[in-house]
Amino acid sequence: MICMQGYYIIDRPRGNVSGPMMNPSPSGMRTNSCQAMRWIGLIFFTFTFACDRGAPSVAPPKPTNRLLIVASVFPLGSIAKQVGGDRVDVVWWVESGQALTGHQPTPEQVEQMRRAAAVLTNGLAEAQVTDQFSDAFGDRRVIRLDRFVNESLADSQLWLDATVAKQAAGALADRLASIDPAHAQAYRDRAAACAKELDALSAYGAQVLLELRGKVVCSIGNDYAALGRQMGFTVEPITRDPLVSLDETQRTRLPQTLKQRQAQLLLVEADSPPAVLLSLKNSVGVPVVRIDSLGSSSSRGLDSYEKLLRYNYEQLAVGLRQARGE
């Protein structure tokens, strides 16, 4: 039976009556029943209102039919995200802390290239894998950075040159516009905004690295020639082998090699082991500059192309100040 405000309502299946009103009058029963129904209605309303207030908010739906873009390295993936916005999904092969030289795409990555609307690649090193996915009517699907430079730079890390990256952003916008014409203007607007940011960063780099123009720096490991070309200095590699693989004889010869080449700085990859870097700084006679060529998808790292460029410009500027004895 149901209890409401001190009254008991008849338990009809058993026909038993209990409580203070053993023999209620019809009018009394109507009064009590009406009160009970009002209370039940109030409880139902309160419960419904509480449920509505506690219901989670619904996020706006994401665009459907998003286009897939594959990039060989994270910096190119960052550019693709900026140009494509929420109309694209972006995947990349390599970022900071992973081996760039000799990377072979996995079967899953090859399948992604087969499905991709566009593939952004440095060019020469990946051509054997990527060029098979070019369109039948040209190479617009595979955007190779080495198509924007002369042949002598084709094997360097071309995304380190912001002028090349700007051209790649424009080519990607054109590619996406051709297969998603309903959003063509949005792609081109974002590519223009990207170009504007890169122009501003290039101007900043030229300002802080003015003293380095026309000078020579040396490098160990990755090829930073594209960065030097944009900023007006020459990068001469001592070896393409990673810093950690240098033997004692090679390390012993480094100071003399740098002196002979009149190198102002020595460039190494930023993720080189700290102990090896410290030993190098204490022995080579010129400032050792850490360059991050790959960036990172981690929010604790250089998680955008713009951050990557600014970091490298500032590292070089610090090296210049050290060379002046500051």
So what's the pLDDT on residue 105?
85
pLDDT, tens digit, for every residue of 110-151?
Answer: 899 889 999 999 887 776 777 777 765 566 889 999 989 887
The residue with tokens 């960036």 is 295
20 has pLDDT over 80: no
pLDDT, tens digit, for every residue of 279-294?
Answer: 899 999 999 999 999 9
So what's the pLDDT on residue 38?
54
Give the H or E element holding residue 235. Answer: strand 234-239
pLDDT, tens digit, for every residue of 191-232?
Answer: 999 999 999 999 999 999 999 999 999 999 988 999 999 999
* DSSP label at residue 95: -
pTM of the model: 0.77
Over pLDDT 90: what percentage of the chain? Answer: 57
So what's the pLDDT on residue 130?
75
pLDDT, tens digit, for every residue of 224-258?
Answer: 999 999 999 999 999 988 888 888 888 899 999 99
- CA–CA gap between residue 38 and residue 78 (Å, rounded): 62
Q: pLDDT category, 23, cuts 50, 70, 90?
A: very low
Q: What share of the chain is helix, strand, coil (3-state, %, to 5)?
A: 50, 15, 35
Q: Quick one: 207 exposed, middle or buried, by C-beta within 10 A (0-12, 13-18, 19+)?
A: exposed
Q: Quick one: 235 exposed, middle or buried, by C-beta within 10 A (0-12, 13-18, 19+)?
A: buried
Q: Which CATH class is domain 209-323?
A: alpha beta
Q: Which CATH class is domain 67-205?
A: alpha beta
- CA–CA gap between residue 156 and residue 199 (Å, rounded): 21
Give the H or E element holding residue 143. Answer: strand 142-144
pLDDT, tens digit, for every residue of 66-87?
Answer: 999 999 999 999 999 999 999 9
Q: Quick one: 314 exposed, middle or buried, by C-beta within 10 A (0-12, 13-18, 19+)?
A: middle
Amino acid found at 310: R
- CA–CA gap between residue 273 and residue 97 (Å, rounded): 11
pLDDT average, residue stretch 146-172:
89
* DSSP label at residue 210: G
More confident residue, 244 or 266: 266
Helices (runs of H) and strands (runs of E) counted in the chain? 10, 10
209-323 has the same fold as 67-205: yes
Q: Where are the domains of the chain?
A: 3-54, 67-205, 209-323
